[in-house]
Amino acid sequence: MLKVIAVATQKGGVGKTSTTVNLAAGLALAGARVLIVDLDPQAQAGTAVGVNLGGEDQLARSLGWILQARLQGMRMDLSSVWFERTELLEEWDDAGTLHLLACEESTMTAAQDLIHKKGFQSTPILRRMLLEVADSFDFVVIDTPPAVSSLSATALAAADYVITVCIPEYPALKGAAATRGTVKYVKDRTGGECDPQYLGAVLNRSNPPSKWKAQEVNIRNGMLDADLFPFETDIRLDNRISDSFAYGVPSVIRFASHTPGKMYSELMGQLVARMQLPVEKWETPEHIDGEDSGE
């Protein structure tokens, strides 16, 4: 059964796209059929897996254009526009498949404007489209814009599960908490058609315990206090993760046997486990005493 995961936050620059593509690629490495949906006009998820739309001939493969067409009553076949990136997994015998629905700024911005004009009744548009191709994939992972917009609302409405991303800075905690709160209202705003479940928060670009300062301890505790349900595995600060964008290969693939690959694999396992468990059985980190910080 298809499971759709949206990676969302209202604060930019926290590593939302890195989280999206590495979780998606990790699921594919584990044998799943995975589709990455790039819903952010900056189109960084596409770059992260080696796809950059350019030229008039490729604009017709932009998700932004597809959304516009669909909102205006035209039938579109998603399988004719997504990009297959399974070649990134060719070194693994038991890997699944990896595909991408790519986007481009001008067409996605136009789609955002059209969704906004049509109002809340158009918000489930992406979910309806994904359900039409549900037999082709086990997981869909959506990269979302880092702001309150009609596109971010569309992403949340499309999702079965939502995770948010935080870094050890106070504005990021506020953005993650705001996203957590927004998820609660999706069902009412879509007339019951869409009902995503909040699945937890990833602490990204964290430091090892020996380098924790008061702010990082406060953020970690704040994630618990705000009921963000942080995952037990952090994604530690590691330049190899961001450097992988330049190669168009997610770090969980490039460094599968090294720290980046191991961190994302552990996180992926915890995410899948939460899908199968009631909230009261989720494992989360403990509160930290100030005395345990590196100060």
Q: What is the model's pLDDT at position 295? A: 45
Q: What is the model's pLDDT at position 58? A: 79
For 209-243, write each residue's pLDDT tens digit: 999 999 999 999 999 999 999 999 999 999 999 99
Dihedral, CA atoms, 196, 200, 202, 203, nearest 10 degrees? 140
For 85-113, write each residue's pLDDT tens digit: 999 999 999 999 999 999 999 999 999 99
| Residue 28, C-beta contacts closer than 8 angstroms, at least 6 positions apart | 34, 86, 89, 95, 96, 97, 98
- Burial pattern 167-187, b for ≥16 Cβ within 10 A else e, equals bbbeebbebbbebbebbeebe
Q: What is the model's pLDDT at position 57? A: 67
Closest CA to 153 of 103, 199, 112: 112
Q: What is the model's pLDDT at position 251? A: 97
- Which residues is 29 bridged to in the sheet? none
Secondary-structure percent of the chain, ordered helix, strand, coil, rounded to 5 = 50, 15, 35
**Is 3-292 in CATH node 3.40.50.300?**
yes
| Amino acid in position 281 | K
At 149, is the secondary structure helix, strand, or coil? Answer: coil
Task: Show me where the domains of the chain are located.
Answer: 3-292
Residues of the chain with pLDDT under 50: 292-295
